[in-house]
Amino acid sequence: MNISRTITISLTAACALGLAACGKSYTTSDIPSGGEKVPAGLDVAAPAFKPANPALAKKPTVTVPSGAAPKKLVIKDLVTGTGTVATPTSKVSVQYVGVLYNGGKQFDASWDRNQPFSFTLGQSQVIKGWDQGVPGMKVGGRRELIIPASLAYGPQGQPPTIPKNAALVFVIDLESVG
């Protein structure tokens, strides 16, 4: 028997023993490739964020103020967090709801995807209103940002959901920093 065949047989036996020790065997067809449900007993999801404040455990309702849209960024803490503070260059993970200032129609929400959104502040990965409005938040906090068009998508908008020159309102929950 040649050495290559001996190594192959040994590795195959080791893999079989390793799978047998797991209590259930899986084949490559058991591995989700996109859209399929994960087999029972195989937990591949990241642990869910569990906020200290129960109010942050569900999607917020966004209330648009009356009157004309502001020309400058408006920041309002709805819940003050108690964790790590986001700096202007922090990597953060958030849950959010975004609505149009005019009419209050929701155009996006990470809550609806059941998936937090992660990005690095100060790297132009998000609109300027977020880069300016998220720093200073603490993990576990909920903040409302009323963002003028100049700090959002400006004259080009983000068709078809965000018209040109649209002011936006976001409620953002900071889940993690770092």
Residue 19: per-residue pLDDT: 41
Active site residues: 96, 107-108, 127, 153, 170
Could you write out the DSSP letters of every residue in the chain?
Answer: --HHHHHHHHHHHHHHHHHHHTSS---GGGS--SSSPPPTT---SPPPP--SSGGGGSPPPP-PPSSSPPSS-EEEEEE---SPBPPTT-EEEEEEEEEETTT--EEEEHHHHT--EEEETTTTSS-HHHHHHSTT-BTT-EEEEEE-GGGTTGGG-BTTTB-TT--EEEEEEEEEE-
Q: pLDDT tens track of the chain, all 178 residues?
A: 444 444 444 434 444 434 444 444 433 333 343 444 444 443 444 445 566 678 789 999 999 999 999 999 999 999 999 999 999 999 999 999 999 999 999 999 999 999 999 999 999 999 999 999 999 999 999 999 999 999 999 999 999 999 999 999 999 999 999 9
